Amino acid sequence: SQQGEEDPQALSIQEGENATMNCSYKTSINNLQWYRQNSGRGLVHLILIRSNEREKHSGRLRVTLDTSKKSSSLLITASRAADTASYFCARYTGTASKLTFGTGTRLQVTL
Amino acid sequence: SQTIHQWPATLVQPVGSPLSLECTVEGTSNPNLYWYRQAAGRGLQLLFYSVGIGQISSEVPQNLSASRPQDRQFILSSKKLLLSDSGFYLCAWSVTGNQPQHFGDGTRLSIL
């Protein structure tokens, strides 16, 4: 079963606005990863944040991790129509060679 | 550079027919390999993963099976498809279990 949820399930914003997606989980993690999926395509890795890190940046992406609250957030600044996609968080717990994916947030960026 | 190939892109099969989906990785050795299924508008369900040739871990008991006959080849099979097997099947690889996964473009499977 899926561990954790993403919030919101869907988000609609206008181009230029910021988009924030949240990911909560229940068990301890070794690292947490964010992925993007365009409609009908495979997932693309965006950022990996380790359990001892609190924040990471990559271009217009900012990821935060709060292990005490068992939550992470992905911020996309100055969104573009091309950012329209589903975004998933995935947790690596260290107990097996696999990731556990969240349910995803569908982001729609309109002109 | 590393690439992952997954085929076919689309497949329509009758109930009760067999299935074979193939995934191959190029440009790396001894990758971890993964098969996922994704229902429409939903998250990913891990079906099988493999950390080496002949080593298969099954996550969900079902009428699907997986095999890894070669280091960079991962095959998803079924002897008899069910309607519930419809979905979007994704193959992925990673260097190790804690590293980012790299996905193929998926196979959309429809069962009639």
Q: Cβ(A82)–Cβ(A89) under 8 Å?
A: no
Q: Cβ(B112)–Cβ(B15) under 8 Å?
A: yes
Q: Enumerate residues 28 to 87 of chain A having a beta carbon within 8 A of any beta carbon in chain B.
A: 30-31, 33, 40-45, 48
pLDDT score of A4? 60
Q: Do A42 and B42 touch (CB under 8 A)?
A: no
Distance from CA of A77 to the nearest CA of B (A): 23
Domains of chain B, residue spans: 3-111
Distance from CA of A15 to the nearest CA of B (A): 23
Domains of chain A, residue spans: 5-110
Q: Do A97 and B97 touch (CB under 8 A)?
A: yes
pLDDT score of A5? 83
Token pair 């107990």 is found at: A95
Rounded CA gap, A33 and B99, in Å?
9
Q: Do A92 and B102 touch (CB under 8 A)?
A: no
Q: Do A97 and B104 touch (CB under 8 A)?
A: no
- Closest chain B CA to residue A42: B105
Nearest by CB to A33, from B43, B90, B100: name it.
B100
- Closest chain B CA to residue A95: B97
Rounded CA gap, B95 and B97, in Å?
7
Q: Is A83 helix (H, G, I), strand (E, B) or coil?
A: helix
pLDDT score of A1? 41
Rounded CA gap, B2 and B20, in Å?
23
CA dist list (Å): B97 to A1, A78, B108 = 19, 33, 26
Please name the helix (run of DSSP H) or strand (run of DSSP E) that holds residue B23, with its range, or none.
strand B19-26
Rounded CA gap, B9 and B89, in Å?
9
Rounded CA gap, A74 and B104, in Å?
24
Residues of chain B with C-beta less than 8 angstroms from the C-beta of A2: 43
Mean pLDDT, residues B17-29 taken together: 97
Band of the pLDDT at B112, cuts 50, 70, 90? very high
Q: What is the Cα Rg of chain A in Å? A: 13
Q: Cβ(B4)–Cβ(B103) under 8 Å?
A: yes
CATH number of A5-110: 2.60.40.10
pLDDT score of A3? 53
Residues of chain A with C-beta less than 8 angstroms from the C-beta of B105: 41-42
Q: Do A97 and B32 touch (CB under 8 A)?
A: yes
- What pLDDT digit, counting tens, does each position of B77-99 carry? 999 999 999 999 999 999 999 99
Rounded CA gap, B39 and A74, in Å?
24
Say if residue A11's pLDDT is above 70.
Answer: yes
- Closest chain B CA to residue A32: B98
- What pLDDT digit, counting tens, does each position of A16-74 carry? 999 999 999 999 999 999 999 999 999 999 999 999 999 999 999 999 999 999 999 99
Q: What is the dihedral of CA B61, B99, B94, B5, to 10 degrees?
A: 100
Mean pLDDT, residues B44-53 taken together: 95
What is the fold of B3-111? Immunoglobulin-like (2.60.40)
Nearest by CB to B103, from A31, A43, A97: name it.
A43
Q: What is the dihedral of CA A40, A96, B28, A41, to 10 degrees?
A: 0
